[in-house]
Amino acid sequence: MSVATIIVGIAFVFTIGWHAYRQRKSKERLLAIEEKLKAIVDQETSSKLLVATDEKELQLVLAQMNRLLASNQQQVAHYHKAKLEQRKMLANISHDLKTPLTVMIAYIEKLELDREMPEQERMRIIGRLHEKTEQVISQMNKFFALAKLEAGDELLPLSRIDLNEVCRQSVLDHYEWLASTGMDVQIDIPEKPIYIQGNKEGLERVLSNLIANAIRYGYEGNVFGLSVTEEEGQAVVDVWDKGKGIPETEQERIFERMYTLDDARNPAFHGSGLGLSITKRLVVAMKGTITAISTPYQKTIFRCTFKKIR
């Protein structure tokens, strides 16, 4: 047997052995990957697949699998957050409905038990019952409005509207409430029309929510303000007060569906956190933006910005 034949034989055996070794190592790596992947999925951890290998094909596969894992982990996190927010929302709505309903039941029982009640007292209680009934209806309407907006069932047809006129009317609609608080009212709305592409009813709801929040949560500052200005092709509406304000760390959260201003501004008022969430969705639906800027007891501003049109 020649030397060449021996060398070829050795090379052949070595090649077979090397391939067998690589196959065994590849199988071990695949089994290790399968075990790690199963553990990550079962335990819902944020871990990544880390396997030492010099095989470029396997490296590419691992990179894509890690991208899929990251996407899945993000979706799981969003799901848990949404579930937590939903539980909080239901708890808050239950509170908002239970409180007035409990008062209503007490008033009804009082009317039933006291047949000799003076007419003036009876009318006072009936008036309070009416107020509480409207409170329950208002809260339910907010809930359904947000549900429609989130589902895309409520479309806002946009048209050319005079922003200044809608702002003036919104202030007038809240005049009695503002007057009853004794707050110093500072309004700065130009006489000349400023037009935007918006929805009149939607804008009225936005302004109503912002004005109501300024009165409820900013009354300690004794000042309420609303101004309209123009900035570089934009129309800007500021609704502001000088009350307790909102901590800087909370200013990004106040438009979340379940966040309530009560947490940051006034514990005396308890809400479901629907008002500002609806407000933001309405503003966005009108191609606008809304932000909050707050320095406690100096100025808290809710700023809506829309694109001006001719």
Q: Which pLDDT tens digit goes with each residue over 203-258?
A: 998 999 999 999 988 989 999 999 999 998 999 999 999 999 888 888 878 887 66
User: Of 119, 151, 183, which one is at a domain's C-terminal end?
Assistant: 151
Write the pLDDT tens digit of every residue in 45-95.
777 767 667 777 767 777 777 787 788 778 877 777 777 766 766 766 676
Residues 146 and 163 placed together within one structural domain of the fold? no
Given a cut of 70, whether residue 26 has pLDDT beyond it is: no
pLDDT on residue 148: 73
Residues 105 and 210 placed together within one structural domain of the fold? no
Determine which of 31-35, 127-131, 151-155 has the lowest per-residue pLDDT on average.
151-155
Helix (H, G, I), strand (E, B) or coil at 272: coil
Domain count, the chain: 3
Q: 0.85 cut: is pTM over it?
A: no
Residues 204 and 254 placed together within one structural domain of the fold? yes
Render 200-226 in DSSP notation, one character per residue.
HHHHHHHHHHHHHHHHHHHGGGTEEEE
Q: 264 burial class (0-12, 13-18, 19+ CB within 10 angstroms)?
A: buried
Residues 146 and 220 placed together within one structural domain of the fold? no
> Which residues lie closer than 8 Å to 42 by C-beta, 6 or more apart?
none
Render 25-38 in DSSP notation, one character per residue.
HHHHHHHHHHHHHH
> Which residues lie closer than 8 Å to 228 by C-beta, 6 or more apart?
163, 164, 167, 188, 189, 190, 194, 235, 236, 237, 238
User: Of 34, 54, 77, which one is at a domain's C-terminal end?
Assistant: 77
Q: 111 burial class (0-12, 13-18, 19+ CB within 10 angstroms)?
A: middle
Q: State the Cα–Cα distance between residues 139 and 269, nearest whole angstrom.
A: 14
Residues 228 and 301 placed together within one structural domain of the fold? yes
User: Of 77, 107, 132, which one is at a domain's C-terminal end?
Assistant: 77
pLDDT on residue 183: 95
Residue numbers of the domain that contains 122 = 86-151
Tell me if 301 sits within 8 A of 175, measured CB to CB. no
Q: State the Cα–Cα distance between residues 141 and 157, nearest whole angstrom.
A: 20
Q: State the Cα–Cα distance between residues 252 and 134, nearest whole angstrom.
A: 31
Residues 208 and 273 placed together within one structural domain of the fold? yes
